[in-house]
Amino acid sequence: MTLNPATGALEIDPLLDDPATRIVVCCGSGGVGKTTTAAALGLRAAERGRKVVVLTIDPARRLAQSMGIDSLDNVPRRVKGVEATGDAAGGELHAMMLDMKRTFDEIVEAHADGERAEAILNNPFYQSLSAGFAGTQEYMAMEKLGQLRARDTWDLIVVDTPPSRSALDFLDAPKRLGSFLDGKLIRVLMAPAKVGGRAGMKFLNVGMSMMTGALGKLLGGQLLRDVQTFVAAMDTMFGGFRTRADATYKLLQAPGTAFLVVAAPERDALREAAYFVERLAAERMPLAGLVLNRVHGSGADRLSAERALAAAENLDERRIVDQTPGKEEVRTPPEPDPESASEPVSESDQPSEPVSDPASGSPAAAENPAHLSTEQLTAGLLRLHAERMRLVAREQRTRDRFTALHPEVAVAEIAALPGDVHDLAGLRDIGDRLAAGGTPAGAE
């Protein structure tokens, strides 16, 4: 774990610069920013001199957009505009997006002769299995990781794990697929093919008629025949699937691998992050630390929510007292813009109904913000600040609960940004924030 002992902060640059670090796996629940984090880490490592490939399993294709690539596929693509300078010269960034079915097809083509491979690829059951069987995406991500590492082309592989219902699916996929291949149903379907010829037919007719009859009613006769044909063709490959899955699992346990758990400062996301930290420890997989994404902060945190609300109420009371007949402030409406005065105003441009101003509650004031007094505007801003401070406090309490449960886990924080990251400059900004992530976000 790359931990600063003085602050308990996660130190990103030493992790990325260490030549012994060959794989970084970004994991966590869905919607917490794993893809952006993985891309930012890859970019930062490349610009610090490493030859990096980022493997994403994100169907939203945000990674391609942010890297200026028209599209990503199952082949690593060089990212332009990434240059390492000085002592870091030689760095490169490549990116790819997992094509689940194509990866499965490549495995079949690599481990079966031409005739058998064609029979498997054209089998209807295989086509359904390779396109959407539960756990196939996670298993193929593991397969692709193993392929990339075996090629030894890149100094560093950064993996963005699948947007699964549970972050644990990535680790469980090999076991689930292995259980499927070793399951009783598969063994039953393989038995006739293994016996073969007339003996096989006799065995099927005598010992299996009731079983296959029931399965035929449940699955349909054609589907059952497709499954049996698929199993017969894949029989010699099943052991290879399990062997490669075991090898990749051991690769994830190796010292050159580092897991980064990515989470948002929210109760559910950090609860799953805590569960994942415990699971990684149980599986003896190396955890580098926690990336806490989209953390809110305030540059005026000395003003508490309570004091801000009290000040807003005082301003409201003063305004109510001052707005008596004879004390109302007279305002001159602004001069009309001569260029826009002649333009007709469409009905859609007119407000359908007055909207209340949060500071005053006055529909008339909200219709024309120019008529808001300084006190009203200030009261509104104070209430917004109070809202922000409550959010900051809630996020801090959530983080404190996680830290109390796992004080050994190094943490890096990334401040919440006003918009989405959509280019290399945005990814560099995220990388800079990650590198300085031991200090809380500071901008409102």
Helix ranges (DSSP H) in 196-290: 197-207, 209-219, 221-253, 267-282
Residue 370 gets which letter from DSSP?
Answer: G
Q: How far apart are CA 15 and CA 288, in angstroms?
A: 8
Q: How far apart are CA 24 and CA 42, in angstroms?
A: 9
Please compute Rg for the chain using Cα positions: 30
Q: How far apart are CA 227 and CA 233, in angstroms?
A: 10
Tokens matching residue 238: 């099943």
pTM, full prediction: 0.74
330 three-class SS? coil
Q: How far apart are CA 404 and CA 410, in angstroms?
A: 12
Q: How far apart are CA 237 and CA 54, in angstroms?
A: 29
Order of all β-strands in the sheet with 257-263: 3-4, 9-10, 411-415, 287-295, 257-263, 23-27, 156-160, 51-56, 92-97, 77-78
Q: How far apart are CA 288 and CA 12, in angstroms?
A: 9
Cβ(136)–Cβ(130) below 8 Å = yes
Tokens matching residue 404: 């109390």
Q: What is the pLDDT along the chain (444 residues), one digit of tens a residue?
A: 565 555 568 999 999 999 999 999 998 887 888 888 999 999 999 999 999 999 987 666 777 777 877 777 888 989 988 877 666 677 899 998 888 788 888 888 887 888 888 888 888 877 877 766 656 777 788 888 888 998 889 999 999 887 655 556 667 766 666 566 555 555 555 555 444 544 444 444 444 444 444 444 444 556 667 776 777 766 666 667 777 777 888 888 999 999 999 999 999 889 888 988 998 999 899 999 999 998 988 888 788 888 888 888 888 776 655 554 444 444 444 555 544 444 444 444 444 444 444 444 444 444 455 556 788 888 888 889 888 889 898 999 999 999 999 999 999 999 888 777 888 989 999 999 998 875 444 333
